[in-house]
Amino acid sequence: MRLFDFSLKMNGFPIDKAKLALSKIQNTDKTAFEDYVKDKRKAIVQHHLQYTSFYKTLGTSITLDDWNTVPIMTKSDLQQPLEQRLSQGYTKANVYINKTSGSSGDPFIFAKDKFSHALTWAVIQDRFSWFGLDFNSSKQARFYGIPLDKKGYYKERFKDVLSNRLRFSVFDMSDEAFENLLKKFKTIPFDYINGYTSAIVQFAKFLNRKNLVLKSVCPSLKACIVTSEMLFDNDKILLEKQMGVAIVNEYGASELDLIAFQNKDDEWQVNSETLFVEILDEKNQSLPNGEEGRIVITSLYNKAHPFIRYDIGDVGILSKASTFKTPILEKLVGRTNDIAILPSGKKAAGLTFYYITKTLIENDGNVKEFVIEQLKKDTFKIIYSSDVELSHEKKNIIKKEMERYLEPGITIIFNRELKLKRSKSGKLRQFTSHIKLDS
């Protein structure tokens, strides 16, 4: 029985219809695909101008035949009651409702019409099939958080049963917890791993300490799909070595869709079927492929709630080889609010110097995880968990490297903790600035 698809249907999500629609979109000829995208984006703007009062107030200067007149939406625009943002004919009773994680600092509740949500799952299932995975039959080892309240906890556990997955807590990453997890892999024929990057990397480090390759322990394993957090190159190398299967990088946003998924050619293929992805500069002008800018996304099918030229808060680059039908995300740089502002006025991408520090702080295997917080323009705190405290010499090396990358005169505070604090969802935010961009 195709239990996962059945559960979607029982909740009113027409997955069969969505799969047929997706197949038709994918069979559109390359030369006609650009017209398909332009027609769909015009249609969704027209729909929300006609039926969504909230969007009418944003789009007063729109000329339908000029895409550049369509305004940029931000997360702050959406921080008002959901009822005020829904399109005519849609209510809380007949839409899919969820809440963003708030990793950008601007959480909000959003909605999708049921066909749009079914299309999301059709796209996800399509991408997973590239690696021989089927949501209705493939067994998933899931590295995610779980709500701690009783109702939320049992709701997720029930969804795990319907989705043929076994969930492992990302809140306990001790060796004891990993030993118990390893026993599960020895006895359960998992087909794939899916979950937060940082948690899976920690499991890989555990396997490395034990000199184990997971594929040899669990021969049924086909792929490891990481999501929600940055995957750095050296961590990917570690995962490939210790998992013994394809490491697949996923990029998505709950309010939109699956945005990009690593294909068999190791390219981050953008979802062009249900989304239109743009890279814009600070003046909201479209940048040519190959240039770095803000990632702005239009949901082509969500009629219940507008996500049109929606600034997701990320920075990235589309490959020069991208086409309308097959856009390739060459690089995901990080979030627009992951910016360090220094006393001189210089701005630096937080994740970049996080990565530089990472190569120094984790090379001996002592430090398990760390995060960086900017407290003041000249003060950074490195919070880390480790077997033993960092030596004075090591701290000086890290401080000198950060000064070299940033600027002289900054203060580095080191704070060792038994384990790092994660968000309620279980995500680990590598860099956080407490400095306002306009300060």
335, 351, 383 - which closes a domain: 335
Domain with residue 320: its CATH number is 3.40.50.12780
318, 335, 352 - which closes a domain: 335
Is there a domain that residue 97 lies in? yes
Is there a domain that residue 162 lies in? no
For 282-299, the pLDDT digits (tens) are 999 999 999 999 999 999
Find out whether 204 and 173 touch, Cβ atoms under 8 Å: no
Is there a domain that residue 144 lies in? no
Is there a domain that residue 60 lies in? yes
For 348-371, the pLDDT digits (tens) are 777 777 777 877 777 667 888 888
Domain with residue 348: its CATH number is 3.30.300.30
Lowest mean pLDDT among 94-108, 137-151, 404-418: 94-108
Neighbours of 234 (CB within 10 A): 14
pLDDT at 439: 46
- Please tell me whether residues 411 and 299 are part of one structural domain: no
Q: What is the mean pLDDT of residues 10-25?
A: 96
- Please tell me whether residues 130 and 257 are part of one structural domain: yes
- Tokens 């049109």 correspond to 308
Is there a domain that residue 187 lies in? no
Lowest mean pLDDT among 162-166, 242-246, 345-349: 345-349
- Please tell me whether residues 263 and 344 are part of one structural domain: no
- Please tell me whether residues 115 and 251 are part of one structural domain: yes
- Please tell me whether residues 263 and 402 are part of one structural domain: no
The type of residue at 239 is L
Instruction: Write out the E strands in 189-308.
Output: 192-196, 223-227, 246-253, 257-262, 268-270, 275-280, 292-299
Tell me the average pLDDT of the chain: 90
Say if residue 106's pLDDT is above 60.
no
Is there a domain that residue 89 lies in? yes
Report the domain count for the chain: 2
- Please tell me whether residues 349 and 331 are part of one structural domain: no
Q: What is the mean pLDDT of residues 267-296?
A: 96
- Please tell me whether residues 386 and 268 are part of one structural domain: no
Is there a domain that residue 181 lies in? no
Predicted confidence band of residue 411 (pLDDT cuts 50, 70, 90): very high
Structural domain including 383 reads 339-433
- Please tell me whether residues 326 and 369 are part of one structural domain: no
- Tokens 């294909």 correspond to 263
Q: What is the DSSP string of 177-208?
A: HHHHHHHHHHHS---EEEEEHHHHHHHHHHHH
- Please tell me whether residues 308 and 408 are part of one structural domain: no
Lowest mean pLDDT among 188-192, 359-363, 370-374, 390-394: 359-363
- Please tell me whether residues 256 and 353 are part of one structural domain: no
pLDDT at 33: 97
- Please tell me whether residues 331 and 383 are part of one structural domain: no
H/E stretch holding 339 reads strand 339-341
pLDDT at 146: 73
Q: What is the mean pLDDT of residues 116-141?
A: 96
Q: What is the mean pLDDT of residues 161-186?
A: 88
Is there a domain that residue 171 lies in? no
State residue 374 phi and psi, 5-degree precision.
-95, 115
- Please tell me whether residues 8 and 127 are part of one structural domain: yes
- Please tell me the pTM assigned to this model: 0.84
